[in-house]
A and B are shown apart, each in its own frame.
Chain A
Amino acid sequence: MKLYQGGRGLAGAVVTVDGKPLDPRYDLKRLSATGFEWTYAGAGPAQLALALLADHLGDDARALSLYDRFMRAVVADLDNSWELTSAEIDGALRTIGG
């Protein structure tokens, strides 16, 4: 079970997985020139959705096919400071039909 955490502060909009920085996976797709963001639908949230799914699923093709739906269903509603577990991502993926 992994724990993903995000928060805004002087260091930026920082996201970690089990305490280590989450790879934005620009190698898969560069959706945002300015890193992660959340609580709305847009470029930064899309990059975060892709990075979360790629790390969680370990399947780049599935992450690429699901990130937009996941961004709108989950990332667009994340709080200023948030926590997501692997189980919660699985639950959200079932809801969006992934």
Chain B
Amino acid sequence: MMTPRQAAFRADYRPRISPWYSGLAHVLVIAVLGVATIWYCASNVVAPRWTDWLIVPAAFIGCNIFEWAIHRFVMHRPVKGLMGIYKRHTLAHHQFFTDHEVSFDNARDFRITFFPPYALSLFICMSAAGAYILGLIWSANAAWLLVCTTAGIYLNYEFFHWGCHVKDDRIIRHIPLMNTIRRHHIAHHNQAIMMSTNMNLTYPMADWLFGTTDLDRGLLGHIFNGYDTRFVKRNLKQVRNSAADSRLAQA
């Protein structure tokens, strides 16, 4: 059930979405750009040595920490020069979706669910810059594999985030890893803890590493936790002085 504040935010936000906006086109642009990047980079990998493949797990871990850091220090903090990201996330996404009502209603709500397509373009450019240096100091194959991995993780991120906000979880609740991040991210949408807890959106490894998780268990337990709530910390942050519009109506 939504609080009056969340309902008011949704009612205010939805008419602001352009009538030309298409949720399906939004998803298609991201998917086509991501898959095309992976296909192009993969087609340039020629007879890689086993050492070239080491970039894949290294990039996987690096991206996990990057995803955590951007979420924790940019998306939830007003930083000069990067305010647009904070506004879109803390001031919009987290007002539209809360742990009281975490689901989108239809594809037009994708506007506030997925990143704009230029975010993927930016990440590909950042990854390509790193790949250029990697090509100079390591190998061309490792460079192409780096961009493949980062683009793949980006698509993974968007797909898992969609899986967190889709209403029907009859299938997702049984898919390992995806069920873990769904519970993890819905807990993050609790406005009492959103500024500092559960910042991963793919696999909660960096949250475990840096102690910003709502769970009290080991790394493998974090990754395969699923919907299990037995390990949720009892001493999670509580908030005070809630305004009337932020409180659920008493039954």
Contacts and interface: CB of A to CB of B under 8 A. Distances in A.
Chain A residues touching B, range: 20 to 34
Contacts of A90: none
A34 B241 contact: no
A26 interface: no
A74 B95 CA distance: 22
Contacts of A12: 87, 91
A96 to B, nearest CB: 14
Contact of A83 (B95, B195, B237, B241): B241
A13 B191 CA distance: 14
A10 B77 contact: no
Contacts of A86: none
Name the residue in B77, B194, B195, B241 with the highest tally of chain A Cβ atoms < 10 Å from its Cβ.
Answer: B241
Contact of B90 (A8, A35, A74): A8
B35 interface: no
Interface string B192-218: 101110000000000000000000000
B220 interface: no
Interface residues of B, number: 31
A8 B95 contact: yes
B79 A34 contact: yes
A10 B13 contact: yes
Contacts of B242: 79, 81-83
B240 A77 contact: yes
B192 A39 contact: yes
Contacts of B16: 10
Given A9-B95, A39-B195, A34 B83 contact: yes
A79 B243 contact: yes
B130 interface: no
B51 interface: no
A88 B13 contact: no
A81 B241 CA distance: 8
A48 B95 CA distance: 21
A84 to B, nearest CB: 5
B212 to A, nearest CB: 12
A40 B195 contact: yes
Contact of B78 (A37, A74, A79): A37
Interface in A1-59: 5, 7-10, 12-13, 32-35, 37, 39-40, 42, 44
A42 B241 contact: no
Among B80, B92, B239, B246, the most chain A Cβ lie within 10 Å of the Cβ of B239
A9 B240 contact: no
11 contacts: A9-B91, A10-B87, A12-B91, A13-B78, A34-B79, A77-B237, A78-B241, A80-B94, A80-B95, A81-B245, A82-B242
Interface of B: 5, 9, 12-13, 16, 77-80, 83, 87, 90-92, 94-95, 191-192, 194-196, 237-246
